[in-house]
Amino acid sequence: MRAFIKKALQNFAIILLILVAVKDIFISLPLRGYGRLHNLINGIHPQLFIQPRGILPFLSGTLMLLLAYRLYKRVRLAWLIEIIALTVGLTYHLARHQVLPVHSVLLDVFVLIVLLASYKDFARSSDRITVRRAIGFILCSFILVLTNAAIGLFLLKADIRSIHSIYDAIFSSVKLLVLMDTSSLGIKGQAGKFYADTLIIINWICIMTSAFLLLKPLVCNPIAAKQGKHRARQMVLKYGDNPMAYLALENDKKYFFAGNVEGFCAYNLAGNVFTVCGDMICDEKDGFLFLMEITDFCRKNGYSILFINITDKFFSMLKMAGFGIVKYGEDACFYLADYNLAGGRAAKVRAAINHANKAGITVFEYKPHEKKEHLIEKQMQSITEEWLIQKGGAEMGFMLGGTGLNDPLDRRYFYALDAEGEMLGFVVFLPYMEGKAYLADVTRRRSNAPQGVLEKIIYDAFMVMKGEGVIWGNMGLSPLYNICREQNSSFTEKIFGFIYENMNKTYDFQALHHAKLKYGPTEWQPRYLAYSPRPFSLNFGYAILKVQMPKNMFKTILPNLLKLDRQ
């Protein structure tokens, strides 16, 4: 009950700030009967530093709205700025012996006391990188605006009484930009007034932009150093049982390391959704403690949580923790001890491989950690460039990796050559389950490559791994496959099933599934989405798309939506 009252007081104080901001914006509008309206509103909460009309109160109100929004999100930097603003405002008027209306003083004092008393609740941080950039932007922009102002005012000295030399211009520029008051300049002409007002507007734009950067909430605990990536890699190799685990080492991920146990998760933010790639990477017995750290971090920062493509490892624990869970598809898995091309289920792949064998195609493994071969990597790059052109230059990420040739780490590369020694295609495999399983992550071939190139690479690679004692091969997810065949399917799963059946011109789910099915997987393993809070909403759907297509989501999806299958 005490916490509820405390939060209610905080929100009430924020609402008061919003009302003052709306008042500032409203009185800046050129409305009829403005004089009476201004006198009424100004009696409620008088202006502190700025002129009562025009662009300045509008910008001031907008900035205050931004502060109020960040205060509602409990951002620490917004709290600090508001404390400073309220303190300086009251001190300024007291120092000038101005008599303020009692209700105005009480409003400011009330907000100040509430914010000071609840400073612990405003714990949401700002991104350190953004803060540094914002501080640099503030300094650079102020210096540039100040220089421009001094030169401009000096050139317009005929229209400004207080300027007789360049030193007067510099002093007047500082006074103008700090106090934002044109009356002290003694402006005589319209040109001087227009220029001074323009400088103030430019200065406010710089302040607004800087404030936006400064108030941007914390996105992650960024671990950009090689030491952090090395730490993540060791945990992936030790605890990474999800086929997606090795994708945590791709450069498009951010890391959230556990504080109380050994573990981390790889994630990105999409809107206000903390979106995790696969399972948490930690010991199964430490999963609940780590999940509590993640949920506490997200609660403080106002984030929803979405785990994409989780396995059965933490399924029950997430469900017990109150997460909503829906099936997301199935992985095409191969128990290598039993896998072969005999029988009808792999007939198409067997025929394709026979065709490749007759064409003289051979498969080799490239081991860059043993010896770098620039010719091999150049051909891989050439195939990738050709593949990107075919895909319209768009490459998905987050749940799909890259070639990783700049930093191969534990990836394995298999490639096919024709009889003349030209590379026709290659496949990149990622380890999981402590190297007892491999995922075929990147599969690329030349457009003119003969039938059976990729089929031969994947099968030969699986046979090599089988000889090494690897247990599982994996060709990755068939998204939305086999979701609605259970009697108790949820509404969200039925929606996914509809998308799988009817939206293949937007993304060819069925063709992708049949491409994996023809290999004759020995097992289809279910994969899930876990999300909080429930129910599944559009912001989770947006997050799934956004993290995988951060730069060209709408460019990729919208044209395809216009070509929906109407059959």
Within 13 Å and on the Cβ side, how many CA atoms surround 62? 13
The pLDDT assigned to 361 comes to 94
* Domain membership flag for residue 382: yes
Please provide the average confidence, as pLDDT, over all residues in the chain: 80
Same domain membership, residue 346 and residue 265: no
Q: Which of 228-237, 300-309, 500-509 has the lowest mean pLDDT?
A: 500-509
* Mean pLDDT of the 265-287 span: 93
Q: Tokens 């009251």 map to which residue?
A: 90
Domains contained in the chain, number: 3
The pLDDT assigned to 21 comes to 80
Phi and psi (nearest 5°) for 550? Answer: -65, -25
Same domain membership, residue 474 and residue 350: yes
pLDDT of 559 higher than 90: no
Q: Which of 93-102, 110-119, 133-142 has the lowest mean pLDDT?
A: 93-102
* Domain membership flag for residue 70: yes
Q: Count CB neighbours of 80 within 10 A.
A: 15
> Using 50, 70 and 90 to split pLDDT, how confident is the model at 287?
very high
* Mean pLDDT of the 102-114 span: 81
pLDDT of 558 higher than 60: no
Same domain membership, residue 176 and residue 46: yes
* Mean pLDDT of the 431-453 span: 94
Asked which of 304, 328, 352 is the last residue of a domain, the reply is 328
Select the more confidently predicted residue: 226 or 502.
502
* Domain membership flag for residue 152: yes
Same domain membership, residue 400 and residue 435: yes
pLDDT of 26 higher than 50: yes
The pLDDT assigned to 291 comes to 96
Cα–Cα distance, 313 to 242 (Å, whole number): 8
Question: To the nearest 10°, the Cα dihedral for 255, 431, 473, 256?
Answer: -10
The pLDDT assigned to 84 comes to 83
Give the contacts of 55 (CB within 8 A, at least 6 positions apart): 28, 197, 200, 201, 204
The pLDDT assigned to 120 comes to 79
* Domain membership flag for residue 301: yes
The pLDDT assigned to 481 comes to 87
The pLDDT assigned to 27 comes to 64
* Domain membership flag for residue 462: yes
Select the more confidently predicted residue: 31 or 185.
185
The pLDDT assigned to 92 comes to 63
Q: Which of 124-128, 188-192, 395-399, 455-459 has the lowest mean pLDDT?
A: 124-128
Same domain membership, residue 115 and residue 24: yes
pLDDT of 462 higher than 80: yes
Same domain membership, residue 241 and residue 159: no
pLDDT of 565 higher than 60: no
Same domain membership, residue 279 and residue 403: no
The whole domain housing 138 covers 2-215
Same domain membership, residue 152 and residue 65: yes
Phi and psi (nearest 5°) for 56? Answer: -65, -50
Q: Which of 128-137, 441-450, 458-467 has the lowest mean pLDDT?
A: 128-137
User: What value, to the nearest 5°, has the Cα angle with vertex 66 and ends 62 and 72?
Assistant: 140
Cα–Cα distance, 308 to 234 (Å, whole number): 22
Write out the two tokens for 483: 């979701």
CATH number at residue 303: 3.40.630.30
pLDDT of 334 higher than 70: yes
* Domain membership flag for residue 547: no
Same domain membership, residue 265 and residue 175: no
Give the type of residue at 253: K
Asked which of 185, 215, 245 is the last residue of a domain, the reply is 215
Long-range contacts formed by 317-323: CB under 8 A, 24+ apart: 317/287, 317/288, 317/291, 318/291, 318/530, 321/288, 321/291, 321/295, 321/532, 322/532, 322/534, 323/530, 323/531, 323/532, 323/534
Cα–Cα distance, 357 to 452 (Å, whole number): 9
* Domain membership flag for residue 556: no
Same domain membership, residue 399 and residue 304: no
* Domain membership flag for residue 67: yes
The pLDDT assigned to 363 comes to 96
Asked whether the beta carbons of 518 and 351 are under 8 A apart, the reply is no
Q: Which of 176-180, 229-233, 302-306, 418-422 has the lowest mean pLDDT?
A: 176-180
Phi and psi (nearest 5°) for 95? Answer: -65, -30
Asked which of 301, 328, 355 is the last residue of a domain, the reply is 328
pLDDT of 177 higher than 90: no
> Using 50, 70 and 90 to split pLDDT, how confident is the model at 164?
confident
Same domain membership, residue 347 and residue 303: no
Cα–Cα distance, 301 to 299 (Å, whole number): 5
The pLDDT assigned to 79 comes to 87
Render pLDDT for 366-380 as a digit per residue (tens, 0 to 9): 999 999 999 999 999
Within 13 Å and on the Cβ side, how many CA atoms surround 51? 13
The pLDDT assigned to 367 comes to 95
Same domain membership, residue 243 and residue 198: no
pLDDT of 355 higher than 60: yes
pLDDT of 461 higher than 90: yes
The pLDDT assigned to 50 comes to 39
3-state secondary structure of 316: helix
* Mean pLDDT of the 213-240 span: 68
* Mean pLDDT of the 65-74 span: 82
3-state secondary structure of 147: helix
